[in-house]
């Protein structure tokens, strides 16, 4: 039996979530009305997973989560409303170490019971095996890693990214799911302002979250971060986040490459689809101008397409098991023999910089072998 602690100040919401978990038969559920009760229940009940509401009296969910992560780390799922305010709080919680989030059932829960039940059970099962990610000291680690990268590569004068690097222009394609926001915070902020390639991210996330996520990530980073909510040209030195509940495809026009949001396709399970993003990039760009990065997440979205990219001559990175919240997607890429390198999250940015801005010696070696 998987032990789940449901924390919510609403008696109706506690009943909804308890009933949904109880319908599967594999869960022992206890409840708490606020963060203070939750901390006591964690000591007594020792749950495998905690579902945690944000807005509660006496002790709110964010404060409670901070205490859990510092005192007795547990896999935590935030129960979030699909609003901008809910997205802000949820992304803050993910930065603090929450594993994932589930949508808060509404008053008409009976109208969407099957979808809510599938999402809740799927994410609780994933959380049971998840690696709890501590976010304590993240900004300090980012500063230290920035200094290390700058010391190794030296500083370069800023150049015109839109025109000055077109001959060597390429795309970094990042696929990520569970644990993604926190992991991306360890990669994108380390990219220099004059990073010469574009970065495109397919993060499994609803539409109301991706715009908030892009804004938060941009505030931490030296490269601009935008949500692809409409067709737009792809420029070097910019990070593009696929709009949630849709897919992102890459195309080429006479003026240059473009990023286009398209309705999610039933041919793909998860959205925004990593598989569809990578497949479209392979059609539009030569493989040697592409780098695939498969990060934490359950399942195998994008693994087949990145392995194919690797076979065609593109380079690929899989996040390692130690730093992955869920080692599903990167492990599938490794299992297919499609990963050039397996790296911890905090070393991926440095590797990308090395590949796209090589030293003269590395550039000579690259002519002999495409892989580092």
Domain identity same for 328 and 193 = yes
Tens of pLDDT, residues 164-195: 334 479 999 999 999 999 999 999 999 999 99
Active-site residues, by number, are 177, 204, 301
From 93, 128, 163, give the residue that closes a domain: 128
Domain identity same for 91 and 144 = no
Beta strands in 18-151 (DSSP E): 27-32, 49-53, 76-80, 100-103
Q: What is the CATH number of the domain that holds 352?
A: 3.40.50.180
Domain identity same for 181 and 324 = yes
Structural domain range at position 315: 138-368
Taking 60 as the threshold, does the pLDDT of residue 124 lie above it? yes
Asked whether residue 67 is domain-assigned, the answer is yes
Q: In which element (H, E) is residue 275 found?
A: helix 274-284
Share of the chain above pLDDT 90, in %: 72
Domain identity same for 168 and 273 = yes
Domain identity same for 186 and 304 = yes
What region, left, alpha or beta, does residue 137 occupy, with left being phi > 0 and alpha being psi -120 to 50 degrees? left
Domain identity same for 187 and 235 = yes
Domain identity same for 101 and 155 = no
More confidently predicted of 61 and 109: 61
Please tell me the predicted confidence (pLDDT) of residue 235.
96
Please tell me the predicted confidence (pLDDT) of residue 191.
97
From 81, 97, 128, give the residue that closes a domain: 128
Q: What is the pTM of this model?
A: 0.86
> Other CB atoms closer than 10 Å to residue 154's CB: what's the count?
8
Cβ neighbourhood burial of 363 (10 Å; 0-12, 13-18, 19+): exposed
Number of domains within the chain: 2
Share of the chain above pLDDT 70, in %: 84
Tens of pLDDT, residues 189-214: 999 999 999 999 999 999 989 999 99
Q: In which element (H, E) is residue 116 found?
A: helix 113-128
Please tell me the predicted confidence (pLDDT) of residue 82.
72
Asked whether residue 254 is domain-assigned, the answer is yes
Asked whether residue 142 is domain-assigned, the answer is yes
Residue with tokens 């590949």: 355
More confidently predicted of 178 and 129: 178
Tens of pLDDT, residues 198-256: 999 999 999 989 999 999 999 999 999 999 999 999 999 999 999 999 999 999 888 88
Q: What is the DSSP letter of 288?
A: G
Tens of pLDDT, residues 357-370: 754 544 444 433 33
- For the segment 265-279, the average pLDDT, to the nearest whole number, is 95
- For the segment 264-292, the average pLDDT, to the nearest whole number, is 95
Strands 246-253 and 256-263: antiparallel
**Average per-residue pLDDT in the chain?**
87
Domain identity same for 218 and 338 = yes
CA dist., res. 73 & res. 242, Å (int) = 31
Please tell me the predicted confidence (pLDDT) of residue 129.
85
Please tell me the predicted confidence (pLDDT) of residue 141.
53
Q: What is the CATH number of the domain that holds 105?
A: 3.40.50.2300
Domain identity same for 123 and 186 = no
Please tell me the predicted confidence (pLDDT) of residue 247.
97
């Amino acid at each position: 039996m998987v032990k789940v602690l449901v924390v919510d100040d609403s008696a109706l919401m506690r009943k909804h979530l308890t009933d949904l978990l109880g319908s599967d038969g594999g869960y022992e559920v206890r409840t708490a009305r606020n963060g203070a009760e939750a901390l006591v229940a964690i000591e007594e009940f020792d749950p495998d997973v905690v579902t945690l509401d944000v807005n509660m009296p006496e002790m709110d969910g964010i404060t409670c989560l901070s205490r859990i992560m510092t005192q007795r780390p547990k896999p935590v799922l935030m129960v979030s409303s699909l609003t901008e305010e809910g997205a802000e709080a949820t992304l803050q919680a993910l930065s603090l170490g929450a594993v994932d989030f589930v949508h808060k059932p509404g008053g008409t829960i009976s109208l969407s019971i099957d979808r809510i039940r599938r999402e809740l059970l799927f994410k609780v099962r994933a959380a049971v095996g998840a690696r709890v990610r501590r976010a304590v000291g993240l900004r300090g680690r980012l500063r230290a890693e920035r200094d290390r990268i700058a010391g190794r590569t030296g500083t370069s004068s800023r150049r015109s990214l839109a025109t000055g690097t077109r001959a060597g222009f390429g795309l970094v394609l990042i696929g990520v799911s569970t644990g993604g926001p926190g992991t991306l915070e360890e990669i994108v902020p380390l990219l220099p302002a004059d990073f010469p390639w574009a970065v495109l991210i397919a993060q499994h996330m609803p539409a109301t979250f991706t715009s908030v996520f892009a804004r938060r990530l941009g505030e931490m980073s030296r490269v601009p971060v935008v949500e692809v909510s409409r067709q737009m040209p792809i420029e070097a030195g910019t990070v593009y986040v696929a709009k949630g509940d849709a897919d992102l495809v890459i195309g080429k026009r006479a003026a240059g490459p473009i990023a286009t949001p398209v309705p999610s396709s039933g041919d793909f399970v998860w959205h925004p689809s990593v598989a569809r993003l990578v497949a479209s990039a392979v059609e539009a760009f030569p493989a040697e101008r592409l780098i695939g990065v498969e990060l934490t997440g359950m399942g195998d979205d994008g693994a087949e397409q990145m392995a194919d990219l690797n076979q065609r001559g593109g380079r690929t990175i899989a996040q390692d098991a130690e730093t992955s919240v869920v080692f599903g997607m990167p492990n599938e890429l490794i299992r297919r023999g499609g990963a050039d390198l397996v790296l911890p999250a905090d070393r991926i940015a440095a590797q990308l910089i090395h590949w796209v801005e090589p030293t003269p010696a590395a550039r000579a070696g690259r002519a002999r072998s495409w892989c580092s």
